[in-house]
A = this chain, B = another copy of it.
Amino acid sequence: MKLILAVIQDKDSNRLIDALGQKNFKTTKLSSTGGFLKEGNTTLMIGCEDQHVADALDVIKDNCSQREQMVSPVSPLGGNADSYIPRPINVEVGGATVFVVPVDAFHQF
């Protein structure tokens, strides 16, 4: 038995929880903030048997990997609208920091 602690971005958390649930992984969501990733992150606790760890990691990787996203910047306030050409920029989003911790005993009451 292992306990997987995954720090991910808030925006990826619902998709990840759904994807894990479809494979019968149970997750507990802790509110967290800052540090490993930018502000607005979530820590998920996922308990799973040793032989399912690789599968859980795959689901995390598929749903939370750091990636680039094209964002159209808003036009500058009070700027000269005529000379302003909005240029979509790439922003890094997502990312997951994952710790796999050993579990000595697991109980459900």
How many copies, total?
3
| Interface residues in A, total, Cβ within 8 A | 43
Q: List residues of chain B with CB within 8 A of the CB of A53.
A: 105
Contact of A43 among B30, B65, B106 (CB under 8 A): B30
Nearest CB to that of A63 among chain B residues? Answer: B109
How far, in Å, is A69 (CB) from chain B's closest CB? 16
Docked Cα-Cα span, A45 to B7, in Å, equals: 10
Question: Which of B27, B98, B103, B108 is within 8 Å of A34, CB to CB?
Answer: B27
The distance from the CB of A22 to the nearest CB of chain B, in whole angstroms, is 13
B99 touches A106 (CB 8 A): yes
CB-CB under 8 A for A27 and B35, given A99-B47, A100-B104, A105-B100: yes
Asked if A28 and B17 make an inter-chain contact with CB atoms under 8 angstroms apart, the answer reads no
- A60 contacts which chain B residues (CB < 8 A)? 107, 109
List which A52-109 residues lie within 8 A (CB) of chain B: 53, 57, 60-61, 64-66, 95-109
Nearest chain-B residue to A65 (Cβ)?
B109
